[in-house]
Amino acid sequence: MALDIVNLLADRAEENVVLHERHVNPQFAKVLRTIGFDQSWVRGQGPYLYDSKGRQYLDMLAGYGVYNVGRNHPVLRKVLTDFLGTDHPSLIQMEAPLTSGILAEELKRRVPSSLDTVYFTSSGTEGIETAIKLARCATGRPRMIHCHHAFHGLTNGSLSLNGEASFREGFAPFLPGAVPIALNDLDALRAELDLGDVAGFVVEPIQGKGVFVATDEFLLGAAQLCRQHGALLVLDEVQTGLGRTGKLFAREHSGVVPDILVMSKALSGGHVPVGAVMTRRDVFLKVFSSMERCVVHSSTFGQGALAMVAGLATLDVLDEERLVERSARMGDLLVKGLLELKARFELVRDVRGRGLMIGIEFGRPASLALRMGWDLAHKMSRDLFAQAIVMPLMADHAILTQVSGHGTDVVKLIPPLVIGEADVARFLEAFEAVLERAHHFPGPIWEVTTRLAKHAMKR
C-alpha cells in the first residue's frame, strides 16, 4: 500500500520535538522547549499557523522571509500540482530546460537590463558562493570585503563573509583576506579597495541581523568605488528581495545597480528551494569562458523544474495580488504604530527598516528601577532581554517573532506580505501589552530573563 502521508502526520502530530531530541538536533529542541516554541504545528495558511490544539498564531517570521506570498498559497498549490500532472521531465542535465529559460526571462524583466544572465541555485548561501566565485574568477583577484554584522549564509565561503563571531567560532581558517568594514563607511571601503586586490564587496541592502539599513548614499558610493577600482559590487537580496522592503528589490530604493544580484528565499513560494544569481554577460563569460568551461560552476539540482515553476508562480502571485505595494503600505502602518509606542515606552530605543522588514531595538532606560532590571539582565547575558519580549508574544498572544542576531536587543518583524490591517492591529495591541508589563520592574518579563539565564548556565 502506498504511504498514507495524511494519516501518518495526523497520528504522529505530537511527536515532533521528541523526534528531534532523538534524531535531529537535540540542542535546538532544548532551546525550543526552554523558550516555549515547542508547539506541534499542523497547518499554515497565509500569515497564520495552527498548532495541534487548534490555536491560531500570527506568523511575523515567515520562515525567515520565505513566505512572502503567505503559506500554502492556493495559486502556488494549483500551479505545482498542475505541473506535476504533466509528467514534464526534469534534470535531464544534458539539456537546456524550458522552465529555467522562462524563469530567467521573467526575472530579467524585473531588474536593470545590465543584469542579463542568470545562474540558478537551490539556496541563498549557494548564491553567495556563486557570487564569490564569479567575482574572484572574473577579476583575477583574491579578496572579498563584507560588513560587520553581515549574514550571507553558513557554508565556508559565505561564512568567511559573516560579520558575527558567534557563527565563525570553531570554523577557521576562512577565505584569506576576507575583511569586514563598518556598514555605511565609504572611507573604510575605499581603503580596502585601494589595496588593489579586492575582487568584490558583498552587502545586504538591509542587514538581516540587527536590521541595520545601508544608506542610499553608501550603496551608490560603493557601486562607484567598486567600478573605479575594478571590483564587483554584490548585492545580497536573499532576504530583502521580492517585495520584502516595499519594492520588488531593495536596490530600487537607491537605484543602485550591482554587478551581481543574489536572491533566494521568497522566490520558492515556500515550496521548493530555489535561488538566482543575476549578473552581466561580460562577467559571466569571463568565468564560463569557453565550451570546455561551460559547466565550470554548477550543481545537480540547480535548475530543477519544480523549483523553476515555483519561482514562476511566486512572481505571478506577487504581481497579481500587488504584494509589493501591500508590503510598503502595511510596513508604513506597522512603523507608525510602533513609533507611537516608542514615544510612550522608554525601553524602545529605535524602530527601523523598510516595508515589512522592521527592527525594534530596545535600549537602557532612564528610570532607576527599570535600569536596574536592564543592567541585571544584560550582566547575565546580552541575549536575554529581546528574548523575554519574544516569549510572551508567543505564549500570551500567539504571535511568532524572533530576536535578530546574537547579543542584540532587537526584535525583528518579517511577516508574510499578505498580512492585513487587522493583523497589524493585532500585533500592535499585543506588543503594547508586553511593553506595559516590561515597564514594571520587578515583574514577569524580568523574571523571564532570570529563568533564561539559569537555563543557559545549566547548559
Ligand X SMILES: Cc1ncc(COP(=O)(O)O)c(C=O)c1O
Q: What is the SS3 assignment for 119?
A: strand
Residue 125 or 139: the one with the smaller Cβ distance to ligand X is 125
Instruction: Yes or no: say if 346 and 368 are a contact pair by the CB < 8 Å rule.
Output: no
Q: List the interface residues with ligand X, window 91-130 (CB under 6 A).
A: 123-125, 128
DSSP assignment of 317-333: HHHHTTHHHHHHHHHHH
Q: What is the SS3 assignment for 254?
A: helix
Strand bridging mode 232-236 / 260-263: parallel
Q: CB of residue 122 vs ligand X: minimum separation in angstroms?
A: 8
Q: CB of residue 125 vs ligand X: minimum separation in angstroms?
A: 3
Residue 178 or 452: the one with the smaller Cβ distance to ligand X is 178
Instruction: Yes or no: say if 393 and 434 are a contact pair by the CB < 8 Å rule.
Output: yes
Q: List the interface residues with ligand X, window 262-291 (CB under 6 A).
A: 264
Q: Is 152 in the site for ligand X (CB under 6 A)?
A: yes
Only one of the segments 103-111, 146-154, 162-170, 451-459 lies at the binding site for ligand X (rule: CB under 6 A); that segment is 146-154
Instruction: Yes or no: say if 329 and 307 are a contact pair by the CB < 8 Å rule.
Output: no
Q: CB of residue 355 vs ligand X: minimum separation in angstroms?
A: 15
Residue 103 or 452: the one with the smaller Cβ distance to ligand X is 103
Q: Interhelix angle for 384-397 vs 421-438, to 10°? A: 120
Number of residues located near ligand X, criterion CB under 6 A: 14
Q: CB of residue 228 vs ligand X: minimum separation in angstroms?
A: 26
Residue 59 or 365: the one with the smaller Cβ distance to ligand X is 59
CA nearest neighbour of 438 among 380, 383, 365? 365
Residue 139 or 207: the one with the smaller Cβ distance to ligand X is 207
Quick note: the x/- pattern for ligand X over 229-258, rule CB under 6 A, is -------x-xx-------------------
Options 64, 167, 301, 345; binder of ligand X; rule CB under 6 A: 64
Residue 204 or 383: the one with the smaller Cβ distance to ligand X is 204
Residue 63 or 177: the one with the smaller Cβ distance to ligand X is 63
Instruction: Yes or no: say if 256 and 235 are a contact pair by the CB < 8 Å rule.
Output: yes
Q: Which residue is nearest to ligand X (CB)?
A: 124
Residue 239 or 401: the one with the smaller Cβ distance to ligand X is 239
Question: If you ran DSSP here, which 8-state letter would residue 215 be given?
Answer: P
Three cell numbers, residue 32: 525550543
Instruction: Yes or no: say if 46 and 416 are a contact pair by the CB < 8 Å rule.
Output: yes
Q: CB of residue 458 vs ligand X: minimum separation in angstroms?
A: 29
Q: What is the SS3 assignment for 145?
A: strand
CA nearest neighbour of 433 among 400, 392, 405, 384? 392
Give CA–CA dist 402/201, Å, rounded: 28
Q: CB of residue 95 vs ligand X: minimum separation in angstroms?
A: 26
Q: CB of residue 209 vs ligand X: minimum separation in angstroms?
A: 8
Q: CB of residue 426 vs ligand X: minimum separation in angstroms?
A: 26
Instruction: Yes or no: say if 262 and 157 are a contact pair by the CB < 8 Å rule.
Output: no
Q: CB of residue 119 vs ligand X: minimum separation in angstroms?
A: 15
Only one of the segments 151-159, 219-227, 312-320, 394-402 lies at the binding site for ligand X (rule: CB under 6 A); that segment is 151-159
Three cell numbers, residue 405: 542576531
Quick note: the x/- pattern for ligand X over 162-181, rule CB under 6 A, is --------------------
Q: CB of residue 181 vs ligand X: minimum separation in angstroms?
A: 17
Distances in whole angstroms, Cα of residue 411 to Cα of each of 23, 55, 357, 401, 407: 30, 23, 11, 7, 12
Options 67, 83, 120, 151; binder of ligand X; rule CB under 6 A: 151
Q: CB of residue 401 vs ligand X: minimum separation in angstroms?
A: 16
Residue 167 or 345: the one with the smaller Cβ distance to ligand X is 167
Options 44, 47, 70, 153; binder of ligand X; rule CB under 6 A: 153
Q: CB of residue 400 vs ligand X: minimum separation in angstroms?
A: 16
Q: Euclidean distance between the first and final Cα of the chain, in Å?
A: 45
Three cell numbers, residue 82: 498542475
For residue 354, the surrounding DSSP H or E stretch is strand 348-354
Give CA–CA dist 233/189, Å, rounded: 11
Residue 413 or 435: the one with the smaller Cβ distance to ligand X is 413
**Rg of the chain taking only CA atoms, in angstroms:** 23
Q: Is 359 in the site for ligand X (CB under 6 A)?
A: no
Q: List the interface residues with ligand X, window 180-209 (CB under 6 A).
A: 204, 208
Give CA–CA dist 459/449, Å, rounded: 15
Strand bridging mode 117-121 / 143-147: unpaired
Only one of the segments 43-51, 147-155, 280-288, 351-359 lies at the binding site for ligand X (rule: CB under 6 A); that segment is 147-155
For residue 420, the Cα-to-chain-centroid distance in whole angstroms is 21
Residue ranges in contact with ligand X by CB under 6 A: 64, 123-125, 128, 151-153, 204, 208, 236, 238-239, 264
